[in-house]
């Protein structure tokens, strides 16, 4: 993330090859958000942020990474083979990488298995603990959902490894503009979507939903590819992943959009980021804090939420272990029970009830 932020200080967007003048979030030179045009911080603001962090020793050296547990590989693998009898379950791999098992499908969000979230192997944010499941311990993945083009969410080595998995590549579902990048990596089983477009994959209908964020991998591709979240509809389960986002009306829009197919309640599970949020003057437009994450959960009307995007990479000023404490405070203020918006240890699997 920091690498991408540095690049935006002087970057210029490229021409939008997917430009559709009838869609307000399409612009001739890239994409934009629905409710707030993203404006990159300039070099002086970036320097101010890093100087303030250095002056106050942020994040503090005493921070602790997200706790980790030995994965229940036997259950994950057996559940993957269960077909129609698969029990809905979620395994936290770390950061924004989550294995969701439901409807007979093994689905993976923003796979990140590398040591650093960076274009370089020797510098950039380094992971604080190994992934909760290694690539070798994963079941065969059916769907990979990529939310946007930042190094901590779209990792070249990880997607290449998944593409080469035994049994054949998964289907990668991505926002507009990323199909070409994946093709350059030799990955061709790709479905590219615009906001509100959907694709049927086996028992799942996957819809790309809006989020308030941005994209960029280098000096010349800021806003050149779209970003977003995913709504996944299965016969016995409905779940949602927001991707990285600032708080916006998009999530109330999402609930309204899908109200007619959620008559027995909202999403069974929502994956919502709770980390990488300080300082607010720099991060608020692109990353929610835990209080805003709780509001997203309420806007969506989700039955449960899992907090992701914390405890693995030190990207911003809050300690790696701060998000769960702030989430607990926000949950208490909102009157939510602890099990309605929870965090998990890296490697932990939680079995979930099927949709009624």
3-state secondary structure string across the chain:
CHHHHHHHCCCCCCCCCCCCCCCCCEECCEECCCCCCCCCCCHHHHHHHHHHHHHCCCCCCCCCCCCECCCCHHHHHHHHCCHHHCCCEEEEEECCEEEEEECCEEEEECCCCCCECCCCCCCCCECCCCCCCCHHHCCCCCEEECCCCCCCCCCHHHHHHHHCCCCCCCEEEEECCHHHHHHHCCCCCEEEECCCCEEEECCEEEEEECCECCCCCCCCCCCCCCCCEEEEEECCEEEEECCCCECCCHHHHHHHHCHHHCCCCCCCEEEEECCCCCCHHHHCCCCCCHHHHHHHHHHHCCCCEEEECCCCCCCCCCCCCHHHHHHHHHHHHHCCCHHHEECCCECCEEECCCCC
Contact status, residue 96 vs residue 273, Cβ threshold 8 Å:
yes
Is 168 exposed, middle or buried, given 0-12, 13-18 or 19+ CB atoms closer than 10 A?
A: exposed
In a domain, 75, yes or no: yes
**pLDDT (0 to 100) of residue 265:** 85
In a domain, 51, yes or no: yes
CA distance 112 to 14: 26
CA distance 10 to 220: 9
**pLDDT (0 to 100) of residue 220:** 83
Residue 180: phi and psi, rounded to 5, are -65, -40
Contact status, residue 41 vs residue 10, Cβ threshold 8 Å:
no
In a domain, 117, yes or no: yes
Q: pLDDT tens, position by position, for the chain (356 residues)?
A: 454 444 444 444 567 889 899 999 999 999 999 999 988 777 888 888 888 888 888 888 778 999 999 999 999 999 999 998 999 999 999 999 999 999 999 999 999 999 999 999 889 999 999 999 999 999 999 999 999 999 999 999 999 999 999 999 999 999 999 999 999 999 999 999 999 999 999 999 999 999 999 999 987 899 999 999 999 999 999 999 999 999 999 999 999 999 999 878 899 999 999 999 999 999 999 999 999 999 999 999 999 999 999 999 999 999 999 999 999 999 999 999 999 999 999 999 999 998 87
In a domain, 263, yes or no: yes
In a domain, 281, yes or no: yes
CA distance 92 to 68: 10
221 CB-near residues (< 8 Å, 6+ apart) = 11, 13, 14, 149, 215
Contact status, residue 191 vs residue 163, Cβ threshold 8 Å:
no
Q: Into how many domains does the chain fold?
A: 1
CA distance 170 to 153: 17
Domain boundaries, position 324: 2-351
In a domain, 356, yes or no: no
The domain that holds 232 is classified in CATH as 3.60.15.10
CA distance 267 to 300: 8
**pLDDT (0 to 100) of residue 8:** 44
Query: What is the pTM assigned to this prediction?
Result: 0.94
In a domain, 327, yes or no: yes
**pLDDT (0 to 100) of residue 46:** 84
Q: Which residues of 90-105 are buried (b: 16+ CB within 10 A; e: fewer)?
A: bbbbbbbbbbbbbbbb
């Amino acid at each position: 993330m920091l690498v991408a932020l540095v690049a935006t200080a002087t970057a210029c967007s490229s021409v939008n090859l997917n430009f559709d003048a009838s869609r307000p979030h399409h612009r001739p030179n890239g994409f934009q958000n629905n409710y707030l045009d993203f404006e990159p911080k300039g070099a002086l603001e970036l320097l101010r942020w890093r100087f303030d962090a250095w002056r106050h020793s942020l994040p503090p050296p005493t921070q602790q990474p997200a706790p980790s547990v030995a994965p229940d590989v036997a259950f994950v693998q057996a559940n993957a083979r269960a077909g129609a009898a698969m029990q809905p379950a979620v395994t936290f791999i770390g950061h924004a990488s989550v294995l969701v098992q439901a409807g007979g499908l093994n689905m993976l969000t923003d796979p990140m298995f590398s040591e650093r979230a960076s274009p370089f192997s020797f510098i950039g944010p380094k992971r604080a603990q190994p992934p909760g499941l290694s690539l070798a311990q994963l079941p065969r993945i059916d769907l990979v959902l990529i939310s946007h083009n930042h190094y901590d969410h779209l990792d070249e080595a990880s997607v290449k490894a998944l593409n080469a998995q035994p049994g054949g590549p998964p289907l990668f579902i991505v926002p507009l503009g990323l199909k070409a990048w994946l093709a350059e990596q030799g990955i061709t089983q790709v479905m590219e979507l615009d906001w509100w477009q959907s694709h049927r994959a086996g028992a799942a209908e996957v819809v790309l939903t809006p989020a308030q964020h941005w994209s960029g991998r280098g000096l010349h591709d800021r806003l050149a590819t779209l970003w977003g979240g995913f709504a996944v509809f299965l016969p016995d389960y409905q779940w949602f992943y927001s991707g990285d986002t600032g708080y916006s009306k998009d999530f109330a829009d999402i609930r309204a959009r899908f109200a007619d197919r959620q008559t027995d309640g909202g999403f069974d599970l929502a994956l919502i980021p709770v980390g990488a949020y300080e300082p607010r003057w720099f991060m608020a437009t692109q990353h929610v804090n835990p209080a805003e994450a709780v509001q997203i959960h309420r806007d969506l009307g989700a039955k449960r939420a899992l907090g992701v995007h914390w405890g693995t990479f030190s990207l911003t000023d809050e300690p790696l272990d701060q998000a769960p404490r702030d989430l607990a405070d926000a949950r208490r203020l909102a009157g939510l029970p602890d099990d309605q918006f929870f965090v998990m240890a890296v490697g932990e699997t939680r079995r979930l009830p099927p949709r009624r």
